[in-house]
A and B are shown apart, each in its own frame.
Chain A
Amino acid sequence: MPLQLNALDTAMLNGDFGPAAASAMAILAAFSEAIGAPSLLDISRAHVDGCLYHGQASLDFVGRLAAQGGRVRVPTTLNVGSLDLIHPELIRLDSAQQAPRRRLMQAHEELGCVPSFTCAPYQTLFRPSFGEQIAWGESNAIVFANSAIGARTNRYGDFIDLCCAMTGRAPAWGLHLSENRRGRILFRIAGLKDSRAATDGLYVAVGLLIGAQAGEMIPVIEGLPPPRDEDQLKALGAAAASAGAVGLFHAVGITPEAPNLAEAFHGKAPEATVAIGPGDIAQALRQLSNAPDGAPVAAICLGTPHFSRREWERFLPLLRDFAPRAGVPIYVNTGRVTLAALEAEGLLDGANEYGLVAVADTCTYVTAILGRLDGVVMTNSGKWAHYAPGNIGVRVAFGEIEDCLASAAAGRVTRVSSW
């Protein structure tokens, strides 16, 4: 059945809202037709993952919309870019390499996007609410919005997220529709020791396991210990979206669309059931590290996805307790608004003595920031550990945040946490 456009869509397509909106609608309509969506629906906000520079085509697309005087039609946040505009001295690219990357970020602002430059837009004032129809790019943001908040977005990406923002419309398809949010595969966690329950690593491991095994099916997790805070769900979702194509998970008794097993599966039976035990958790975490304990550490990388205010408040006292002085830089990625508030309140005063390097607007695995790539980099992020070896060619050790800080203090991979 062909795509049905309403009067507004058709007017936009015909240029009544200017050439930029017409172009965006033409691409959105062709995309929607291609995936078999019957119609479009209204969205209330967008998050655009278009600021990472992949070549001239990235810039040509946004630059043309901006030159045509285009404006986004809904509140639109921006994902990380390839530069840290707050700390330009951190970026190890020459000015010729920086120019198109900076232009790409600026062109998005000219379209009326909010210069948030964060992969965690759910930590900003632009956080959606339950049931809201949105069009988000960035895999961790998508899975967080759908799962932890119960907002509704498909896994939008390059170009099409901006076309949704420019038109205020998205295809009526996939995770926008209630019937497609039904759980289909059950992951049953059992046999955990109490000491394991509170660790961040558990949530990363569960994310990796469901990401690797859910395939196209929406995973439902039973037996997940109640998280300390939403940052642990953030870590779970980011790991799941790195290891697989997960855009939505349900955790029974924890996430809003899964008060119980029956509701998570919309009253139907799971199509498959997978048991997760302590051995699976330990193996998943072991596979994230490709460097042995005791190896010299070149850097610590935290904040993938971007550190929340709450994570900073947990991290800073630990930093002062461990007081590392081995000269190992501790990079922490975070949103520029979160960082500005911490600095204004003086909470970061003196932290650079321990090697803290706050990074805003980007992430340490997508651009040239790290001073040394020859040693092991330690991280508490499943997503960073998954992508960094391929992106920037480093060896990685994964650990709890306490392990990262102990390693920074010792100058070598050191483990102090229970697992």
Chain B
Amino acid sequence: MVRTGRFFVEGAAEGIALVLAAPLSFWGGVAVESGEIIDRSHPDCGQNVAGRILVMAGGRGSSSSSSVLAETIRRGVAPAAIVLGRPDPILTVGALVARELYGLVCPIVVCAIDGVASGDRIRIEAVGADIAALHIGNPFSPPCGEKVARSAG
């Protein structure tokens, strides 16, 4: 399946989806050393966001989440990309600052997230100004005719 979204932070990414059951505050919710979800009240506590395509309805909570996202990007334990159901300025700022400071890109895309499941392979690419295409495939088959080996890097 291919879905169109809007880039809030542009970039290409590919990885395995981690779809959260509830919005996550990075501040107080994600360990900056590891990317592990540590908010004990969150249904996905114990999962790890590092390297995943993080999919959730929206952001939540403190604006300090901008700093925490930037710090996880700096340490290399951030999601490969963040896909949101609705825009979130706090996460957008965190990713923008990391790009500005370190040249590291964690793309942020807003699109419909229904029908996406944890374990799906997602490839994100730019197809126009601010326009993202999300190629969403079953984890056991190559997405949209691409070779699986492509994701190794």
Contacts and interface: CB of A to CB of B under 8 A. Distances in A.
Given A23-B100, A49-B63, A60-B101, A160 B70 contact: no
Contacts of B96: 27, 30-31, 159
A312 B90 CA distance: 35
A160 B100 contact: no
In which size bucket is the chain A interface?
20 to 34
A38 to B, nearest CB: 15
A64 interface: yes
- What secondary structure prevails in chain B residues at the interface with A? helix
A346 interface: no
Contacts of A158: 63-67, 90, 93-94
B70 to A, nearest CB: 4
B32 interface: yes
B101 A57 contact: yes
B64 A56 contact: no
A155 B63 CA distance: 8
- What secondary structure prevails in chain A residues at the interface with B? helix
A39 B67 CA distance: 25
B63 A57 contact: no
A31 B71 contact: no
A159 B74 contact: no
B93 A157 contact: yes
B68 interface: yes
13 contacts: A23-B100, A30-B96, A31-B96, A34-B9, A34-B89, A54-B27, A54-B32, A60-B102, A156-B63, A157-B62, A157-B93, A158-B65, A159-B96
Nearest 10 pairs of A and B residues by beta carbon: A157-B63, A55-B71, A54-B67, A158-B66, A57-B70, A57-B71, A34-B8, A34-B92, A158-B67, A159-B97
A228 to B, nearest CB: 30
Contacts of A30: 9, 92, 96
A30 B94 CA distance: 12
Interface of A: 23, 26-27, 30-31, 34-36, 49, 52, 54-58, 60-61, 64, 137, 139, 155-160, 390-391
Nearest to A156: B63
Interface string B71-107: 1011100000000000101101110111011100000
Given A34-B92, A54-B64, A159-B97, 9 more contacts: A30-B92, A31-B89, A34-B8, A35-B89, A52-B64, A54-B71, A55-B32, A61-B101, A158-B93
A137 B64 CA distance: 10
A30 B93 CA distance: 8
A343 B75 CA distance: 44
B28 interface: yes
Contacts of A54: 27, 32, 64, 67-68, 71
A157 B92 CA distance: 12
